Amino acid sequence: MSEVTIANRITVKDFNAYYGEKHALKNINIDIPANKIMAMIGPSGCGKSTFLRSINRMNDLIENFKTDGKMMIDGKDVYDKNIDVTNLRRRVGMVFQKPNPFPKTIFENIAYGLRVNRLFKDKKELEEKIEKSLMEAGVWDEVKDDLDKSAFELSGGQQQRLCIARALVIKPEVILMDEPTASLDPISTAKIEELIQVLKKDYTIVIVTHNMQQAARVADKTAFFMLGEIIEYDETVKMFTKPGNKMTEDYITGRFG
Amino acid sequence: MDRQFDEELNVLKKDILKMAALVDEAISRAIKSLVERSDELALAVEEDDEQMDMLEIEIEKQCLELLARRQPIANDLRFVTSVMKINSDLERMGDLAANIAHKTRILIKYPLLKPLIDIPKMAETVRSMLKDSISALIENNSELARKIVERDTKVDGLYVQVFREVLTFMMQDSGNIKSGIELIMIAKHLERMADHITNIDEDIVYMVDAKTIKHDFEK
């Protein structure tokens, strides 16, 4: 089979991360292609969330956290001292385990990012962008008549899709998802998974999941992390039918430990 | 780690081995009925086919349940899907054994065309291939499975030999055609059995090594 070259959105070279003395990520080298979904799996404490949060420098806020090596988005090192971190986080959106809408109306939850980034000319454009992002996140039909209601009145699944809409509205290139369905019921989970599939057309998605079947269902590529290292990184189909590494096989089939 | 899931996989393995053992016995008895010209034994073989049919359904049910409830992946997935395929091949072999018994019951109404030499030899090869395949399955031995596949040509060769020989008898005397055709069909059934065993061994290689060796796709 011929190799098709796909542009890599994220390129990671000899990347290390430390929490003080603790070496949390060890010599990570991977490429994450654009417009694909990359899932990270591995036992708790293996470094997958640290890796995810290193992409948009969310770990900067942690004392004693430091990195070396390269974490590049579109060829630019995000740890370069000239990088504007606020701008980086606009380009790299994030969705968390528990839906975390602002204590504001549904409308204002989405409008917030547009306001702080000054991404609209007038009220009409603001409304259009809000509608579009809620549609993109597949939650428009459920909330269109309640835009002035508090976001807390929505169900957990709706709140999570609202948070995805909030991430989408400022047009990021990459969306990071840290166990985005961990607190959702199966139907809401299925909706989010469907949504992720649709979103990859326009975004590059990196997702941390503890649910092996979820990685198998949604991801194009899967990375297996253990003790701060990437043990295996390959096409998801290959990982789940014929993993190349015994440790991966033991972990994904539940024979681990 | 002890897991209920492993226990369920073990039950499945035991059942597929039981299926293989039943098929082996059916072949052995079918050929015995032919050699000994025993209508009684041939009838019993025909009737016992139902056991394998029922076990096939049971194994299929177990596999579907495991897929639905456990969503196996990696080596577990390869095991369950391979067992599903091996199950079908074994069941077809059971049918072929029952067919041989059926043909035997017709054949023994006619005088013996020639002494049976190559057909029992074919059956012996098929059974040894099947027995070794069972060992390969028990031991997850893909190397053995790959070697068994090579023996298929021996069975093919024997089939051609039987075909030519019986054809000569039929050409000499058209009265031999009826029993001649039955003999050729029996040999053909044995030849098909070796093909099914080849499939089984290809599945064992896939199960163990995650390599698709059929149709020379991978080494």
Of B1, B71, B78, the CB nearest to A255: B1
Chain A partners within 8 Å of B2 (Cβ): none
Q: Do B74 and A241 touch (CB under 8 A)?
A: yes
Q: Do B73 and A212 touch (CB under 8 A)?
A: yes
pLDDT in tens, A96-108: 999 999 999 999 9
pLDDT in tens, B90-141: 999 999 999 999 999 999 999 988 889 999 999 999 999 999 999 999 999 9
Residue B80 has pLDDT above 90, yes or no: yes
Residue A74 has pLDDT above 80, yes or no: yes
Locate the chain B residue with the closest alpha carbon to A256.
B1
What's this model's pTM, rounded to 2 decimal places?
0.83
**Given pLDDT bands bounded at 50, 70 and 90, which one contains residue B219?**
confident
| Mutation target vs B (from A222, A248, A253, A256; most B CBs, 10 A cutoff) | A253
ipTM reported for the complex surpasses 0.90:
no
**Given pLDDT bands bounded at 50, 70 and 90, which one contains residue A6?**
low
The vertex-B3 CA angle with B5 and B82, nearest 5°, equals 35
pLDDT averaged over chain A? 93
Q: Do B74 and A253 touch (CB under 8 A)?
A: yes
**Given pLDDT bands bounded at 50, 70 and 90, which one contains residue A2?**
very low
**What is the helix, strand, coil percentage profile of chain A, to 5?**
40, 25, 35
Chain A contact present for B67, CB below 8 A: no
pLDDT in tens, A195-225: 999 999 999 999 999 999 999 999 999 999 9
Question: In whole angstroms, how far apart are CA A197 and each of A38, A164, A185, B26?
Answer: 11, 13, 19, 51
Locate the chain A residue with the closest alpha carbon to B78.
A241
**Between residues 101 and 140 of chain B, which touch chain A (CB distance below 8 Å)?**
none
Residue A4 has pLDDT above 60, yes or no: no
More confident residue, A118 or B88: B88
Q: Please answer whether residues A48 and A225 qualify as being in contact, where contact means their C-beta atoms are separated by less than 8 angstroms.
A: yes
| pLDDT score, position B114 | 84
Chain A contact present for B4, CB below 8 A: no
Give me the mean pLDDT over the A119-135 stretch: 95
**Tokens 């390269």 sit on residue:** A70
> How far B79 CA lies from chain A's nearest CA (Å)?
11
Chain B contact present for A234, CB below 8 A: no
B66: CB partners within 8 A, 6+ apart: B8, B9, B12, B72, B80
> How far A23 CA lies from chain B's nearest CA (Å)?
29
Residue A80 has pLDDT above 60, yes or no: yes
**Given pLDDT bands bounded at 50, 70 and 90, which one contains residue A1?**
very low
CA dihedral B123, B127, B130, B136 (to 10 degrees): -140
Give me the mean pLDDT over the A123-130 stretch: 96
B85 CB-contact burial (10 Å; exposed 0-12 / middle 13-18 / buried 19+) = middle
Residue B198 has pLDDT above 80, yes or no: yes
Residue A257 has pLDDT above 70, yes or no: no
Distance CA A130, CA A110 (A): 6
Chain A partners within 8 Å of B210 (Cβ): 241-242
